[in-house]
Structures are given as structure tokens and as C-alpha cells.
Amino acid sequence: MNKNDLVAAVSDSSGLSKADSAKAVDAVFDSITGSLSGGGEVRLVGFGTFSVADRKATTGRNPRTGEAIQIPASKQPKFKAGKGLKESVNK
């Protein structure tokens, strides 16, 4: 399922127009992104938790030349599925 499929599914299940559904989906994504950018986390009970993890700087290798390269530290978004989502998937 891609974003357009998600908008169509929201439109069908909620009775909203596709334009309004697209705005709602975008608003949810923007809210989650904003919270994670600020260092917070988003907990959706029964669905899961979005959070940010810190990755340390590491040394990697260029596979073509074998040269050592520095991979800088970064922040990575994470998602941990909740109990309700896990149970739905494992039916």
C-alpha cells in the first residue's frame, strides 16, 4: 500500500472526500514528524510507538576501493509495533 492507496482507504472508510482524506493523512504524518524532530515520541495505544534512536559514528569501508570512511553519528526514526497490531497481523 502506498500513500495514494492509504488516502483512498481513509476516504472510503470515513466518507470524506479524497482531498480531505489527503489533508488528514498529511496532517497525521506532519504531526508525527514534528514530534520526532523535537526529540519526542508518539505512542498510539494498540498500534505502536514512534521514537528516535541515536546512532554512533562508525568507520565503514568503501566496497569498491576498500578505503576506510567515516560514517557520522545520526538520529534514526524507529517504530515498535504495539500488542494490538501484532495480534492483528498474526491472525
pTM, 2 dp: 0.78
The residue-averaged pLDDT of 81-87 equals 94
Per the CB < 8 A criterion, the answer to whether 7 and 25 are in contact is: yes
* Residue 87: HSE in the Cβ half-sphere, 13 Å Cα cutoff: 5
Contact residues for 35 (Cβ-Cβ < 8 A; gap 6+): 41, 42, 50
pLDDT for 91 beyond 90: no
Q: Which pLDDT score is estimated for 26?
A: 96
Residue boundaries of the structural domains of the chain: 3-89
Q: Which pLDDT score is estimated for 3?
A: 94
What share of the chain has pLDDT > 90, as a percent?
96
pLDDT for 88 beyond 90: yes
pLDDT for 82 beyond 90: yes
CB atoms within 10 A of CB 29: 12
Which position has the grid cell 491472525?
91
User: 3-89: what CATH class?
Assistant: few secondary structures
